[in-house]
Amino acid sequence: MKIERKNLRVGMWVVFMTFHVNAFGQNAEVLPEPSFDTWTSLFLFVSLQALFVFIALFNLKGAQSQANKILGFLLLTFSVILFSYVLYWTNYNREFPYLNGWYHPLLLVSGVLFFLYVRNIITGRKLKKSDWLHFVIPIFITVCLMPIYVDNFHGGRRLMPNEAFRPYIMIGLNSYLKVVYLGIYLFCSFRLFYQASLKDSYLKPWFNYLLISYSGYYLTIVMYYALVNLSFFNVTWDYMISFAMSFFIFCVSFLGYIYPQVLAGKPVSNILLRHKYQNSGLTERGEIELKEKLLSLMAEDQIFLNNDLNLNQLALKANTTRHNVSLVINKYFNQNFFDFVNKYRIKYVQELFLKPECQGEHIIQLAYQAGFNNKVSFNKAFKKFTGQTPLSYKSEKVG
């Protein structure tokens, strides 16, 4: 019975390693001759592009130099991972066995680097010695896989140097660990983003691009590992992971090349708006005059008290088009029309709270006086601009 159980364990281990063996450059005799196709050539180009952007970011000076270096190392990590995938798909992993398998710990490293970049930009916190603790698990995974790496440097002639290393290698190849680990750091990145409340900040568009593209990369990994054991699974589906990585690399590269001010710490929204509205017909002086006109309509005429106020009516009062009003509100106030108007309404309600003659009135009645049409939109706007509910704010200020 003991012999049968031992044979069963050995058989399961061989099946498991056979699934991963090609990615480590072994069992080469069953593979076709190395060659490139359209997709592998494209991914190789993207890998090299990420390498070049890493060099550019690493040498970029300015207020965000450390953050840019972190972002550069993230692109370098993606470059190595993508290059490893290309080696596998083209079967060149047989020619360079010592380059195989390094992407396993680097998948974890990418999650750490993404989180550290988000934290550095949003909180301004610089890297400390204690931040090396974030890399403990990737380093541990590297140690677990070291027997395979050593074997690959010898040409990958053996499936495993020593059976005693099997449990550790199983840990290093564990797909669930990668999914959970990356998910934790992606969650922490999102939490930092939302806690910072960057609603009116130039950072919001930039982080929207990064978070969406990196989330797409993570979701493709989750889907791949979830489907890998199903009967209809196709091994070519792992191309989707490379597509997601390529999209992230393209996102950073495109914005960094077209809008270098992004990586130098300039307002992203202003950069994008300048290109979006460059053919609007308004001169810079005309924009400033319209800005002052809108401020006058709000502060002096208190046009926001009109419950039915909309963009067309505001444009009519300002003697211009709705397009021009939208342009100026977005460009100079970094808001949309509704936030622009509601900010004045909330401020008006706050002033009403302090007036003795309004002490006995219900809060919703004051909201109607300020121009709101319903309780839901009022509560949502109040919480957005003050961080408190109307009742808690009034209790704190008035008692």
**Using a CB cutoff of 8 Å and minimum separation of 24, what contacts does 318-321 make?**
318/290, 318/293, 318/294, 319/293, 320/290
Alpha helices (H) along 300-358: 311-317, 322-333, 337-354
> Are the C-beta atoms of 182 and 111 separated by less than 8 Å?
yes
The percent of residues in the chain predicted with pLDDT above 70, rounded, is: 73
* pLDDT, the chain, mean: 77
Q: Which is nearest to 375 in space by CA: 362, 359, 390, 364? A: 364
pLDDT above 70: residue 258: no
* pLDDT band, residue 65 (cuts 50/70/90): confident
> Are the C-beta atoms of 144 and 169 separated by less than 8 Å?
yes
Q: Tell me the pLDDT tens digit for each residue of 146-201.
A: 877 777 776 654 444 455 555 556 655 677 888 889 999 999 988 888 777 655 44
Q: What's the pTM?
A: 0.57
| Amino acid (1-letter code) at residue 298 | M
Q: Tell me the pLDDT tens digit for each residue of 87-144.
A: 888 888 777 777 777 888 888 899 999 999 888 877 778 888 898 999 998 998 888 8
The whole-angstrom separation of Cα 126 and Cα 111 is: 18
Q: Tell me the pLDDT tens digit for each residue of 276-332.
A: 555 455 677 888 888 899 999 998 899 999 988 998 899 888 888 888 888 888 888
